[in-house]
Amino acid sequence: MLKQADSYEAMTSGFSWNLPERFNIGEAISTAWARRAPDQVALIEHMDDGPARHTTCAQLDAMANRIANLLVSSGIGPGDRVALLLPQCRETAAAHAAIYKLGAIALPLAMLFGVEALQYRLQNSGARALLMSHASRDNVAEVRPSLAALEHILCIDGTLEFAPHLHDACRPMPDVFEARDTSLDDPCLMIYTSGTTGPPKGALHAHRVLLGHLPGVQFAHEFMPQPGDLMWTPSDWAWAGGLLNVLLPALYFGVPVLAYRFRKFDPVFAWDLLAQYGVRNIFVPPTALKLMRASTPKDVERLNLRTMFSGGEAVGQALQEWGEQSLGLRINEVYGQTECNLVLESCNLLGVWKSGAIGKPVPGHTVAIVDDQGRPLPDGEAGNIAVQRPDPVMFLEYWGKPEATSDKFAGDWLLTGDQGYRDAEGYFHFVGRDDDVITSSGYRIGPGEIEDCLSRHPAVKLAAAVGVPDPVRTEIVKAFIVLNPGYEPSPELEQDIRAHVRNRLSAHEYPRAFEFRDELPLTTTGKVIRRLLRDETSSQ
């Protein structure tokens, strides 16, 4: 926990980690508040078909305990992976608490995942149980036969032919559960993150990950919690941004969370939500902020915003100016990644804010610019943005990939894969990625998964996916394709290939631009040189 200070220097010099030896996230976000303030509201769900649904701390804990007892009665135990394919709702929050309490590992999955994305993650993780909603029925039905380890499926909003209703199954279960006595380093959460080559990797985190996030949340939200604070994000709680920046820290601090699942992000409706519920604190990725900027309401005085922060991609000067001029707020930019999140930030209240810069290291984290061997570089020189271990917010390992885990480090420095520099005032600046990961609408997209999906289309002989600049999404996915004999480029074929990726992989990963070619640039070992394609595109 950060102690309020008058300056950044006073805060950092007076900060030290004071972590307990034993800690359980489920106990901290659920049971502790059910005992301390049982009638306090933990979640507010905006409902399209009726009044908002409020869930108190006691109600959330009772639901979590019933889910935990149900999972244990089904044979789920410590270390087992339990997948959550759920929207923003009370069942999602309760399921997370339940999984942590029993010592299992939560595997959040985004609602927008298609069959191939789901199948890979469920199969690679060896998930034994899955909690889902009716919206994912068709996709789960398609992948289920191939998942030998998946023994239990539960549906939160009805009974399916392969999944009983979660609430029916929980009804006879006790509403008390004693959380497992877990250590800081016991694994509890795995989020898959995309990389340059190969399929996504499961970043495995321990119970300490929540404690490691707290200074960053407090710094960006200017000493949260404050009286009246209420948090909201449009980000799916399956992503690190929605789960670790918002849901879990808010529950830990006893700050209510507004929940709503957009089928498609609607910036006008987002403004209405903020005004209707008096939201005080928001985390919104830059792409969504750009859409909200285009529809800024004239009556901004109806808003009750205290703090807003953004990250996942560069915020940019235009958004910063809009925040100040239209909303009267400076957007606190944050930086991190699934493996090691919220390590660089701005905090306007403390004067840590500079146009064009990310910010400075959050108290408790050591961040530097290093070369490829992990040697710190002087101010002004570009290099790898790196975080020093040990650090409580840092991941344990990539699931089943010891070599990839080792390659993530240069000595004791975790290499983020981003290039940047530090200026003479100590501010960090983002320069660009040193790999081929595509950043689109706040999502990190690995080209390998897209290319694999493209290659499964009967017309595609060879494919490469790169990110190209886009004024709204930061980047969009562009596909370079060599066709098989018998196929000719056409708008109809382009649309068919686009639909193939969208339906089988994910709605945020499908190519929005295409270029058909006779050949692609290859290395001597037959790998596509994406850098050349990127360079060609950027020079056009």
Q: What is the pLDDT of residues 159-206, one digit of tens each?
A: 999 999 999 999 999 999 999 999 999 999 999 997 555 689 999 999
Q: Which tokens hold the place of 175? A: 């509403």
The CA distance from 97 to 89, in Å, is 13
The type of residue at 17 is: W
φ, ψ at 453 (rounded to 5°)? -70, -40
| pLDDT value of residue 264 | 83
Quote the CA–CA distance of 101 and 453 in Å, as a whole number: 37
pLDDT of residue 540 exceeding 90, the answer is: no
Q: With a threshold of 0.85, does the pTM exceed it?
A: yes
Q: What's the CA dihedral at 307, 8, 433, 113 to 10 degrees?
A: -40
Sign, CA dihedral 504-505-508-509, equals negative
- Tokens at 362, concatenated: 């959050």
Residue 524: the pLDDT is 44
Tokens describing residue 489: 């480029």
Give the tens place of pLDDT for each residue, 394-419: 999 999 999 999 999 999 999 998 88
DSSP code, position 267: H
Distance of alpha carbon 276 from alpha carbon 279, whole angstroms: 8
Token pair for residue 351? 């004067």
Q: What is the largest CA-CA distance in the chain?
A: 70
Strand partners, 367: 387
Q: How does pLDDT run across 338-380, given as a tens digit for each residue?
A: 999 999 999 999 999 998 899 999 999 999 999 999 999 999 9
Least confident of 59-73, 116-130, 454-468: 454-468
The percent of residues in the chain predicted with pLDDT above 70, rounded, is 97
In terms of DSSP bridges, do strands 41-45 and 257-259 run parallel, antiparallel, or are they unpaired?
Answer: parallel
Are residues 102 and 94 in contact, defined by beta-carbon separation less than 8 angstroms? no
Domains of the chain plus CATH, in order, are: 21-206 (3.40.50.12780), 438-539 (3.30.300.30)
d(CA 139, CA 130): 13
Phi/psi at 286 (nearest 5 deg)?
Answer: -55, -40
Phi, psi (5° rounding) for residue 271?
-60, -40
- Pull the structure tokens for residue 397: 């390992």
Query: H or E segment at 433?
Result: strand 428-433
Please, where are the H alpha helices in 128-207? 137-143, 166-170
Helix axes 115-125, 447-455, angle to 10 degrees: 120
**With contact defined as beta carbons under 8 Å apart, do 382 and 431 qualify?**
yes
Calpha distance 280→228 (Å, rounded) = 7
pLDDT at 130 over 90: yes
> What average pLDDT does the segment 213-226 reach?
97
From residue 216, give the alpha-carbon distance in Å to each of 28, 186, 249, 273, 385.
18, 22, 10, 25, 17
Q: Which of 240-249, 442-451, 519-528 has the highest mean pLDDT?
A: 240-249
Rounded CA-CA distance 41/49 in Å is 21
Residue 526 has pLDDT above 90, yes or no: no
- 204's tokens: 């495995």
Query: Contact at 8 Å (CB) between 305 and 280?
Result: yes
Question: What angle is formed at CA 13 by the lines to CA 11 and CA 17, rounded to 5 degrees?
Answer: 85
Amino acid at 306: R
Of 224, 231, 238, 295, nearest in space to 95 by CA: 238
Closest CA to 73 of 8, 164, 160: 164
**Dihedral (C-alpha) 87, 395, 245, 113: value to the nearest 10 degrees?**
-30
Average pLDDT for 46-55: 96
Q: Express each pLDDT in 276-313 by its tens digit.
A: 999 999 999 887 888 888 889 999 999 999 999 999 87
Number of separate helices (H) and strands (E) present in the chain: 18, 26
